[in-house]
Amino acid sequence: MADDGDLLCRSYADRGSEDQFFDRERHIRYLEMNYQILTSPYESQEINHLTLAYFIISGLHILQALDRVDREAVIDWVLSLQAHPKNEAELNNGQFYGFHGSRSSQFQSVDNGVSVPNNSHLASTYCALAILKTVDYDFSLIDSSSISKSMKHLQQSDGSFMPIHTGAETDLRFVYCAAVISSLLDNWSGIDKEKAKNYILSCQSYDGGFGLIPGQESHGGATYCAVASLRLMGFIEDDLISKCASSCIIDVPLLLDWCLQRQAVDGGFQGRPNKISDTCYAFWVGGVLKILGANKFLNERTLREFLLTCQSEYGGFSKFPRQLPDLYHSYYGFTAFSMLQETGLNSLNIELGISTIHHTII
């Protein structure tokens, strides 16, 4: 360990980007390590265990290395986090029956009459389904109607979604989760699309981007949630800019301007004006451009160069150049390289945030 530390300190200095390449092997090793054991920086993220697993498993899939995971064990673990209603009647009690983010938010059901707190969460549910889709689990075995029926209770009168029935902030992130869950389950009964659409439209700011809630300043992540949700719900089409953008429900030219201006001089993407480039926005903003059919306008060469400065010596990507990697930024680094059509990477379904290639895993 001590040796590794020394090496870490040395290796971040003086690394030019010219001779660098996307180091797939190291990235696989990095994810594999995190698949085996989560390191201490993730202690506080225990509640988001499913999300971390999503980064690892879907990440390995993008890297075409899904054979490194034990498919059956992954499926069993994910399914063990699902909240099940005791009976049909419970589906109307206002609770959400999705997936728990981790073991600690899940209480073992005991039949002593005490109500068991159900903490299943929209984001965890999205990640659970994304993992199951990634490992090619048979979705007909999932009780999708419980998820959809109970998800309906989470939608607010303004169209936004609360992530958990016990109450939390409501914003575009959870509208996106609801849309992607419905899409993966191929069951749209859990969402009032018209209301959700109106909420999303109310979040578009005058500068063209979207804020997480109406009136908030535009943000790369929120913009992705908005555009991907509209696409998933069928309110916008692919390749909008080569079609009739002027009569589209959102202001596409303005959105395009905003997105393109998020590519900073160093080639990376920033999440908001005047912030510094950050690996993950290559996906959030780059993904929006791809959905719009406008990814040809971004400068792929400089983006690539920027991302490579965030590539860690030991695999994975960091938020900013020459820092330590983390799972979140690693995953969005991989997705960004997939969008840049790096060889040896699976292609992405941008709206769903996962790879689309499916093959039988032995």
Partner 1 sequence: MHGRPRKSATPVDENASALKAAKIRSLQSQFLQNHHNNIYTKEAQEINAKLIESNPEFMTAWNYRKLAFEHNLSNQSEVDKEDADHIKLIIDEELRVVENALRKNFKSYGAWHHRKWVISKGNSSTERELRLLNLFQKQDTRNFHAWNYRRFIAGLKDISDEKELQFTTDMINDNFSNYSAWHNRSVLLSHLLEKKVEGYFPKEIFLKEEYELVRNAVFTDPDDQSGWFYHLWLLDQTIKVDMPNLVSSWPPNGSEITNTTFPIVLFFNEPVEGVNLQTVSVQVEDDIFKNIAWSPLSANKFKCGQAWLTHLTIPFGETNSSKIFQVKIRSEYSQGIISSNGVPCSQHWSIAFRVSVCHDFQPEGQSLRRILMTDENFSTVDINSNVMDLFKSYFELASDYEQPTSSKWKSEMIASEIDQYRELLSWAECKIGKLTLARLLMANDAIGTPVAPNTTHVEEVLKLYSELMELDPTHYQYYKDEYSLVFLKQVASSKESLMKYCRQYKESTSSNITGPMCLRLNSLSLSRIGSFERLLWVQSLDLSHNQLPSIEGLEALQLLSCLNLSHNKIGSFMALDPLRFLKSLRVLNISYNEIGAHTVDTRRYLCSSPLSHTLDYDKKFEEFAAGDEKVVNFWEAYSVFGGLDIMQLDVVGNVAADERFKLFLVKLLPALKWLDGEEVH
Answer yes or no whether residue 138 interacts with partner 1 by CB under 8 A.
no
Q: Please provide residue 48's backbone torsions phi and psi, each rounded to the nearest 5 degrees.
A: -105, 30
The token duo for 11 is 């290796």
Instruction: Restricting to residues 107-126, name those near partner 1 by CB under 8 A.
Output: 107, 114, 116-117, 119, 121
Q: How far apart are CB 213 and partner 1 at their closest, in Å? A: 7
**Which one of 52, 164, 181, 228 is in contact with partner 1 (CB under 8 A)?**
164
Q: Are strands 354-355 and 348-349 parallel, antiparallel or unpaired?
A: antiparallel
**340 CB neighbour count, 10 Å cutoff:** 18
Alpha-helical runs (H) found in the chain: 2-11, 24-36, 49-62, 71-80, 122-134, 144-151, 172-185, 193-202, 220-232, 252-260, 281-292, 300-309, 327-339
Give residues 33-52 in contact with partner 1 (rule: CB under 8 A): 40-41, 43-48
101 binds partner 1 (CB under 8 A): yes
Distance set, CA 325 to CA 45, 161, 333 (Å): 16, 32, 10
Helices (H), 63-164: 71-80, 122-134, 144-151
216 binds partner 1 (CB under 8 A): yes
- By the rule CB under 8 A, 11 interacts with partner 1: no
Residue 319 sits in the site that holds partner 1 (CB under 8 A):
yes
User: Is residue 157 involved in binding partner 1 (CB under 8 A)?
Assistant: no
How many residues at the interface with partner 1, by CB under 8 A? 75
Cα 133 from Cα 49, distance rounded (Å): 17
Q: Which is nearer to partner 1, 60 or 232 (CB)?
A: 232
Q: Is 297 in the site for partner 1 (CB under 8 A)?
A: yes
Name which of residues 63 to 92 contact partner 1 (CB under 8 A).
Answer: none
Q: In the bound complex, what is the minimum distance in angstroms from residue 145's beta carbon to partner 1? A: 16
Q: Which is nearer to partner 1, 156 or 356 (CB)?
A: 356
Shortest distance (Å) from residue 310 CB to partner 1? 12
The verdict on 169 binding partner 1 (CB under 8 A) reads yes
Selected binder of partner 1 within 184, 196, 203, 345 (CB under 8 A): 184
Query: How many angstroms separate the CA atoms of 336 and 260, rounded?
Result: 15
* Binding residue for partner 1, selected from 212, 225, 230, 310, defined by CB under 8 A: 212
Q: Cα–Cα distance between 136 and 130 in angstroms, integer?
A: 10
Mapping DSSP to helix (H, G, I), strand (E, B) and coil, where does residue 44 land? helix
Helix (H) / strand (E) element for 349: namely strand 348-349
Of 30-38, 61-69, 82-90, 204-212, the window that binds partner 1 (rule: CB under 8 A) is 204-212
Q: Which is nearer to partner 1, 146 or 183 (CB)?
A: 183
